[in-house]
Every structure is written in C-alpha cells, then in structure tokens.
C-alpha cells in the first residue's frame, strides 16, 4: 500500500471517521464486505502511525537470481556481504536512511536486520531498500515473509535472471496475487551481460508480456548487470522518481478509504455504484421522531399487558379484605375466611419475582400492534437493512417484555399495612362496645324470661319510656355497632381507593422505566446509530 503525507491530506481525520463508520455500520455489512473493510482499516491504521515520508522499495526474487548483487549495486556498497549478515535464509535485510521514524517503520515491517546508509549516497535520503528472502526457499516462513512485506511496501522490484524470468512459482504465487498491492512494479532482468545481440531484446519483451499477463499495470523491465553496471543508473532513477512522487501516492490510501466508504453506502442503500449512492445521500435525511410521538402508544399497551387496572382493583380488594377481617361488620367478617386474600392470590409484593397474573391474549396482541405501528413509523423511508435492524430490535423486545412486566408486577410495593392497622383496631373496639352492650341486654332479657318461666320469679326490667332497659341495651348496642360498621366501611373504602391509586401509580412509574429501557431505548439507540452512519457517510461529500 502507498505511503503518504498525512499533514497535507488530513488522512488521520479521514481514517478516524472511516474507523468510526465501520464500527457503527458493522451490523449492516455482509461478511465479505466486512472482512475487506476491516483489512483496509487495519493496514491504514498501522501505516498512518509511521513515517509517511520514507519510500520502501523491496527486491523480490528466487535463489540465484542475482538479487543480493543487485541490492549492493544499487546502494553502491557491498552491504549484503559486509553489513549485518542474515542468521537464516528467511529473514530480510534493509538499508535505511538516517531519518527519524524509519526505525519505527521497520518495526512495523518486522525487519530486524538493518544497515543505516549515510546521506549523499546513491539513493535519495527518503528511500529504504529491502532485500527479501528467496521466494523458492524450502522454508515456508521465508515465502510468508515475502508475502507479508510485499503487501506493505511502496515499490516492488521483481528480480529474475534470463533462465528463470518465466518461472511459474514466481508468477502464480507472487507477482500475480500481489500485482495490485504496490504503487509501482518494476521487473529487473539480471545477468544482462550474458545475453548477446537481439537475445536481450527478446527476453525483455517476453518478460514484459508475462508481467502484463500477471495484470501488472504498465510493467517496466530493466536489463541490468551487477558486473558491468548496465541498467543500474536507470533503476536508481526509477527508484528516485518513485520517491519524488510519493506524496501523490497518498491518494491511493485516500481512495481505498473512499472506496470503502462507498462500499458501505452500497451495502446499506443498494444501487449499482457506491460512489453514485454517496452522491444521492447528500439530499437524504432520515425521518425524525421523538419520544412524545412514540412512547405514549407503547406505554398504553404496556399498561394493558401489565394489568395496571387489575392491580389497582386487586389492591383495593386486598385492602378491603384485610381491613374488613379486623374492623368489618362483626357478624359477617368471619365469612371472609372462606375467600382468599386477593393480593396474595396474585402474589403481589412477592420476593419470588413471579406473579400469577396472566395478561390477556388481547393485550399482548395490542402490544404487538403498538410495536409494529411504532416501528412502521420509524422505518418509513429507510433502507432495507436499517428497516430490518429496527424490526429485529422491536421483535427481540417484544419476546421478553411479558417476563419483565411479570417481574415488575410481582415486586411492586403494595401499600397495605404489614399487620393490623391501629385505626382498624380502634374501629373494631368501638364496634365491639355496641355488640357487648347488645349481648349484655340480650342476656339480661333472656335471664328475666328464664327466671319467670322456671322459678316464677318476676325480675323488674327497669323500663325507660315504657321500654325495658335490656331492650334498650340491645337496640342501642346494635345501632351503635351498625353505625360504627358503616363509618368503618366508608373509611375502608376511602383508604382502599387511595391504596389502589398509590399502587397503580407506583406500577406505572416502574412500567415507564420498562418502556424506556426495554422498548424505547433499543429503538432510539438503533436510530441514533443509523443517523451517525448517515452523518459519517455524508462527511466530505
């Protein structure tokens, strides 16, 4: 890939935007497109952090091709012999200029063996020349090293001698697959001094033809001889030219990132050309929506599924049941023992997180309808991948929402006294005063009749307004009990209503959080992701 001037072209900003775009658009891309784009981003990111001014030139060839001799001839020094020797046949050696940042560049290229070339040599001060391992080495690691470096250098020089320039291994495994990786590709025919007459012309022409077959753009073949110096100056000139135009090579990376951007646009919005798609996005905007437009519809449906009205009614009934068991009309309060506590029957306020309340199928259908209506409003005018993403978010939320609602309903803080409320006891005591008075009057009256019928004893009844006192006691006691019971019933109804409202309000607040967290937030996050992708696609257009 090419090296470029980052300060001139603001490539880091473009790369940052591209990486953010790729991160946000990952869910919208096919596997092949994602792999391709991640490779582009990875190589671009690696190279941007390195020296952007040094041109990296690599010599690639087979054993005996004269590659090391050519390496020395270009540099004008016997580097491969008197410099740092390779400990194995699979490691490259680099001749590097004395520039800041070159060492870091060599680290990225994973080249350990380096020789620094002083300024004023045969090559410009911004050129690093690499002698790669032999491609026909029996060591697999050597060939892998060549492939690794060939993808990352700026100028590839394929070195071959007159006997092996058409070697199948050289062309099928290296030149052809790597033809598009370097900005420029040069073929060098070594040992040109061994060719006579028209032989050199024919071999150069045939080598050029084969390179064209390998899809090398505008291949150039230079016949050279390390012995006579033939073609060495011409090759140096080509290397110098490549270094001089290196700033322009930045356009390759910019183009790669722009092409990647266009590919993302094509993957999401379709079309025959990603570039054309980017053009059309200039005037494209996603439909806007707010939570005020969407949440009321979802909230109403969730309230129905969670049974807010049922919970309110149950809490009211539960309050009446518990208060009535303590302070209700005494003759009938024991009948409540034959009925279950409504709150306990639904397991409200349970620590288990499970309630026996089951939403009606109709409410579930209403929630599903509300979600579809909400999503339909969001996806209008969006590309298909984004429509599918929003639908997937809604479907996923809908699958688990009944479970979340059941959990919320079961753990609601039921506003009922844990035991017997004080005022229940007070009202019960007042009512019991009446019943005690009535019972005493009844016993008195019964005793009088019993004594008179069995013992013929006539006990005075101490009438008051011609009505016997026991009768007064019975009547006043019952009337008192009934009045207190009626007052208690009114108070219980009032307090039950308040408890039901408090429970429903607490449940609504909990359900509002469920709507926000499990229904609205996923849709909003997905919408924001899509808007950010669109914003990044539009940048620079």
Please state, for a pLDDT cut of 90, what percent of the chain lies above it.
Answer: 16
Last residue of a domain, one of 202, 235, 252: 252
Residue 28 has pLDDT above 70, yes or no: yes
221: domain CATH number?
A: 3.40.50.300
Lowest mean pLDDT of 136-145, 318-327, 491-500, name the range: 136-145
pLDDT mean across residues, the chain: 80
Q: Is 277 part of a structural domain of the chain?
A: no
Residue with tokens 């005063």: 433
- Report the pLDDT value the prediction gives residue 439, as an integer from 0 to 100: 92
Question: How confident is the model over 394-411, as pLDDT tens digits?
Answer: 887 777 777 777 777 777
Q: Is 291 part of a structural domain of the chain?
A: no
Residue 250 has pLDDT above 60, yes or no: no
Q: Is 465 part of a structural domain of the chain?
A: yes
What tokens were used for 345?
A: 């029957």
My answer on whether 329 and 226 are in the same domain is: no
My answer on whether 240 and 346 are in the same domain is: no
Q: Is 48 part of a structural domain of the chain?
A: no
Angle at 484 between CA 483 and CA 486, to 5 degrees: 65
Question: How confident is the model over 198-247, as pLDDT tens digits?
Answer: 888 999 999 999 988 888 888 889 999 988 999 999 999 988 888 887 65
Phi, psi of 115 (to 5 degrees): -130, 125
Question: How confident is the model over 416-475, as pLDDT tens digits?
Answer: 777 788 898 999 999 999 999 999 988 988 888 877 777 766 767 677 777 888 888 899
My answer on whether 326 and 237 are in the same domain is: no
Q: What is the rounded average pLDDT of the residues 48-72?
A: 81
Residue 307, sorted as left (phi over 0), alpha (psi -120 to 50) or beta, turns out to be left
Query: How would DSSP label each residue in 202-256?
Result: HHHHHHHHHHHHTT-SS-EEEE--TTT-TTHHHHHHHHHHHHHTGGGGHHHHHHH
Last residue of a domain, one of 252, 286, 303: 252
Give the containing element (helix H, strand E) for 423.
helix 422-454
My answer on whether 320 and 229 are in the same domain is: no
- Report the pLDDT value the prediction gives residue 3, as an integer from 0 to 100: 38
Closest CA to 534 of 291, 258, 289, 283: 283
- 3-class state of residue 294 by DSSP: helix
Last residue of a domain, one of 233, 252, 271: 252
My answer on whether 79 and 163 are in the same domain is: yes
Question: How confident is the model over 93-131, as pLDDT tens digits?
Answer: 999 888 777 888 888 888 988 888 887 788 888 889 999
* Cβ atoms within 10 Å, residue 126: 17
Q: Is 210 part of a structural domain of the chain?
A: yes
- Report the pLDDT value the prediction gives residue 452, as an integer from 0 to 100: 75
Partner residues linked to 155 by β-bridges: 57, 184
More confident residue, 291 or 433: 433
Closest CA to 54 of 109, 121, 99, 111: 99
Q: Is 152 part of a structural domain of the chain?
A: yes
Q: Structural domain of residue 77, as residue ranges?
A: 55-252
My answer on whether 225 and 340 are in the same domain is: no
* Cβ atoms within 10 Å, residue 10: 11
- Give the Cα separation of 364 and 271 in Å (integer): 39
Full strand arrangement of the beta sheet holding 155-160: 113-117, 93-97, 127-131, 55-61, 155-160, 184-189, 220-223
Please state, for a pLDDT cut of 70, what percent of the chain lies above it.
Answer: 84
Q: Work out how many domains the chain is built from and give that number.
A: 2
Q: Is 46 part of a structural domain of the chain?
A: no
Closest CA to 135 of 103, 82, 96, 176: 176
- Report the pLDDT value the prediction gives residue 507, as an integer from 0 to 100: 83
Residue 291 has pLDDT above 80, yes or no: no
Residue 181 has pLDDT above 70, yes or no: no
Residue 191, sorted as left (phi over 0), alpha (psi -120 to 50) or beta, turns out to be left
Residue 88 has pLDDT above 60, yes or no: no
My answer on whether 187 and 329 are in the same domain is: no
My answer on whether 319 and 245 are in the same domain is: no
- Give the Cα separation of 374 and 429 in Å (integer): 57
Q: Is 38 part of a structural domain of the chain?
A: no
- Report the pLDDT value the prediction gives residue 540, as an integer from 0 to 100: 64
182 secondary structure, DSSP code: S
Lowest mean pLDDT of 23-27, 49-53, 238-242, name the range: 49-53
- Give the Cα separation of 80 and 71 in Å (integer): 7
Would you place residue 288 in the very low, low, confident or very high pLDDT band (cuts 50, 70, 90)?
confident
What tokens were used for 485?
A: 């019971």
- Report the pLDDT value the prediction gives residue 363, as an integer from 0 to 100: 64
Three state DSSP letters for 23-69:
HHHHHHCCHHHHHHHHHHHHHHHHHHCCCCCCEEEEEEECCCCCHHH
My answer on whether 488 and 419 are in the same domain is: yes
My answer on whether 214 and 346 are in the same domain is: no
Angle at 17 between CA 12 and CA 19, to 5 degrees: 90
My answer on whether 343 and 492 are in the same domain is: yes
Closest CA to 231 of 292, 157, 297, 164: 157
- Report the pLDDT value the prediction gives residue 523, as an integer from 0 to 100: 84
- Give the Cα separation of 227 and 280 in Å (integer): 60
Would you place residue 497 in the very low, low, confident or very high pLDDT band (cuts 50, 70, 90)?
very high
How far from chain centre, in Å, is Cα 119? 51
- Report the pLDDT value the prediction gives residue 185, as an integer from 0 to 100: 79
- Give the Cα separation of 157 and 355 in Å (integer): 76
- Report the pLDDT value the prediction gives residue 8, as an integer from 0 to 100: 37
More confident residue, 195 or 280: 195
My answer on whether 119 and 216 are in the same domain is: yes
């Amino acid at each position: 890939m090419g090296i470029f001037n980052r300060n001139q072209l603001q490539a880091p900003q473009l790369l940052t935007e591209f990486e953010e775009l790729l991160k946000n658009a990952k869910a919208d891309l096919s596997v092949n497109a994602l792999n391709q784009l991640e490779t582009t981003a990875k190589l671009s990111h690696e190279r941007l952090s390195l020296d952007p001014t040094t041109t990296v030139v690599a010599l690639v060839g087979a054993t005996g091709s004269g590659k090391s001799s050519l390496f020395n001839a270009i540099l004008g020094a016997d580097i491969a012999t008197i410099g740092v020797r390779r400990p194995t046949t699979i490691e490259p050696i680099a001749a590097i200029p004395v520039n800041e940042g070159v060492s870091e560049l060599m680290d990225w290229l994973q080249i350990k063996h380096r020789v620094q070339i002083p300024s004023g040599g045969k090559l410009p001060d911004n050129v690093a020349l690499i002698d790669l391992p032999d491609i026909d080495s029996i060591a697999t690691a050597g060939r892998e090293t060549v492939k690794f470096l060939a993808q990352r250098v700026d100028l590839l020089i394929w070195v071959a001698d007159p006997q092996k320039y058409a070697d199948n291994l050289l062309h099928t495994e290296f030149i052809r697959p790597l033809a598009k990786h370097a900005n420029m590709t040069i073929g060098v025919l070594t040992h040109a001094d061994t060719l006579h007459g028209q032989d050199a012309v024919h071999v150069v022409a045939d080598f050029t033809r084969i390179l064209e077959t390998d899809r090398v753009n505008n291949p150039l073949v230079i016949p050279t001889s390390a012995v006579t110096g033939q073609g060495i100056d011409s090759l140096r000139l080509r290397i110098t030219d490549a270094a001089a135009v290196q700033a322009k090579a930045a356009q390759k990376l910019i183009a790669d990132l722009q092409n990647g951007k266009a590919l993302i646009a094509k993957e999401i919005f379709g079309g025959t050309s990603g570039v054309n798609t980017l053009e059309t996005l200039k005037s494209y905007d996603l439909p806007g929506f707010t939570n005020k437009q969407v949440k009321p519809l979802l909230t109403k449906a969730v309230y129905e599924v969670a049974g807010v009205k049922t919970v309110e009614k149950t809490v009211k009934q539960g309050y009446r049941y518990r208060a009535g068991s303590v302070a209700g009309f005494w003759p009938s309060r024991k009948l409540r023992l034959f009925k279950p506590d409504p709150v306990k029957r639904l397991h409200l306020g349970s620590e288990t997180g499970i309630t026996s309340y089951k939403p009606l199928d109709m409410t579930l259908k209403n929630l599903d309808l509300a979600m579809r209506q909400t999503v339909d409003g969001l996806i209008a005018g969006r590309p298909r991948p984004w429509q599918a993403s929003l639908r997937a978010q809604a479907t996923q939320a809908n699958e688990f929402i009944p479970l979340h609602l059941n959990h919320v309903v079961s753990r609601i803080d039921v506003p009922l006294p844990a035991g017997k409320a004080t005022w229940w006891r007070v009202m019960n005591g007042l009512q019991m005063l009446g019943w005690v008075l009535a019972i005493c009057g009844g016993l008195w009256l019964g005793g009088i009749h019993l004594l008179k019928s069995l013992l013929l004893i006539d006990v005075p009844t101490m009438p008051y307004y011609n009505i016997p006192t026991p009768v007064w006691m019975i009547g006043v006691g019952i009337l008192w009990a009934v009045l207190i019971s009626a007052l208690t019933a009114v108070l219980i109804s009032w307090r039950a209503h308040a408890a039901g409202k408090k429970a429903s309000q607490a449940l609504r607040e909990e359900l509002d959080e469920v709507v926000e967290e499990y229904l609205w937030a996923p849709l909003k996050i997905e919408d924001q992701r899509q808007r950010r992708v669109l914003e990044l696609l539009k940048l620079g257009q």
